[in-house]
Amino acid sequence: MTDVAVVGGGPAGLSAALFTAKNGLDTVVFDTDKTWMHKAHLFNYLGIESEDGTAFLEDARDQVDSFGVDRRQGEEVETVEQDGDGFRVVTGEDDLTADYLVLATGANRGLAEGLGCEFTDEDVVDVGVAMETSIEDAYATGAMVRAEEWQAVISAGDGAAAALNILSKEKGEHFHDFDVPADAE
């Protein structure tokens, strides 16, 4: 049992995991390492002058690991389904239940379809600004919800939006993750 299950270890999934774990939610990330980031070089990501996509992923993984994310590298999710008030995530090695589900599988929308999420006329997962799907407490991010705008920085923002909505639900009020310099000491 975990609070948040994230399927996908690219910018969207790791961003969601960073926010939820940093703010006290048990978070598991399933990452097959098939992200497009390995083919990218970042010149257009705010705050990064120039970085290879694989190096960016290594930095992002180190960051989420430092906040205690249970990152299951190489563990592929076979199915996700609703399970009572939460979700059941099935892999070849394990079954896991989670209160919240964040799908961050790039343009592969199969898990969202299998879960029963609604799709738009453009054949992308239908979400609102908080990235929540038609299934309560299930979120879709990045290329799953966009027909064309597949950018690392947009995907990371989608993951953060999903995480902040989850944190707001958990706290019972609008949650704002804002750090000050003293927090870094």
Give pLDDT, residue 185. 76
Q: How far apart are alpha carbons 138 and 87 in whole angstroms?
A: 8
Give pLDDT, residue 162. 98
Strand ranges in 56-173 using DSSP code E only, listed in sequence order? 70-73, 77-83, 86-91, 95-103, 138-140
Give pLDDT, residue 148. 80
Per-block mean pLDDT, blocks of 10 residues, the chain (185 long): 97 97 98 90 92 95 98 96 96 95 95 97 95 98 88 94 97 91 84
Give pLDDT, residue 21. 98
Give pLDDT, residue 54. 95
Count of Cβ atoms closer than 10 Å to residue 126 Cβ: 15
Q: Smallest Cα–Cα separation from 156: which of 59, 74, 68?
A: 59
pTM value is: 0.95
Q: How far apart are alpha carbons 133 and 173 in whole angstroms?
A: 20
Please name each of the domains of the chain with its CATH number. 2-171 (3.50.50.60)
What's the Rg (C-alpha) of the chain?
15
Give pLDDT, residue 36. 87
Give pLDDT, residue 92. 93
